[in-house]
Amino acid sequence: MEKKITTHLMKGLIIGLVLVVIGIMLQVFAIYDKWVQWSVLGLFIAAIIWACISFSNEMDNDVTFGSVFVHGFKTAIIVTLIAIASFLITNLVMPEFKEKAMEMARTQMEKNPQMNDETIEKALTFTKKYYILFGVLGSLFSYAFFGAIAALIGAGVAKKNPSTNMPQTP
């Protein structure tokens, strides 16, 4: 019986959907703490490392560092695309999410003693104007960046024992 290999697409879909469900739950329960956001990012990184280790095990460790990294990075890109789609859909379905984000940004800016009311208003006007762009680019770069780091870690810790099919010269 041939061993079935779980593709990066399937792993990415599963990880992405789990993160979307967690994100929806956080929004429903209005949990916006920084430590929770970092925990979700940690979960994403752990999931990408798991995807790399799982790939190596499914291939009976007959893999190279590069092949494991590519599998993990492709998985991270699928999750990134799901995160971007989720962000866009959330902002279409729940426009109040943008207002909540602006309110939270205002609160953070007001804590900075170097920012006056005029500066805060200019910053918020600019942010509102480019909110979708900032959200998409932020998701793209953060998930791709941390996904690449996780894939590197995953490729480093996954067992690798590539067989050489090349004939050995005496």
**DSSP states of 24-83 as a string?**
HHHHHTT---HHHHHHHHHHHHHHHHHHHHHHHHHTTT---HHHHHHHHHHHHHHHHHHH
Q: What confidence tens digit (pLDDT) does each residue in 34-69 have? A: 888 899 999 999 999 999 999 999 998 989 999 999
Burial of residue 22 (CB within 10 Å: 0-12, 13-18, 19+) is middle
Tokens at 56, concatenated: 């190596």
Determine the average pLDDT of the residues in 77-87: 95
The confidence score (pLDDT) of residue 165 equals 58
Q: What confidence tens digit (pLDDT) does each residue in 13-38 have? A: 999 999 999 988 888 887 878 888 89
| Residues 49 and 128: beta-carbon distance below 8 Å | no
| Residues 104 and 32: beta-carbon distance below 8 Å | yes
The confidence score (pLDDT) of residue 170 equals 45
Helix 96-110 with 65-93: angle, nearest 10 deg: 100
pTM: 0.85
Residue 96: pLDDT band with limits 50, 70, 90: confident
Tokens at 163, concatenated: 């067989």
Write down the mean pLDDT value for the chain: 89
Burial of residue 141 (CB within 10 Å: 0-12, 13-18, 19+) is exposed
Q: What confidence tens digit (pLDDT) does each residue in 113-160 have? A: 888 888 888 988 998 899 999 999 999 999 999 999 999 999 999 998
Residue 164: pLDDT band with limits 50, 70, 90: low
The confidence score (pLDDT) of residue 31 equals 80
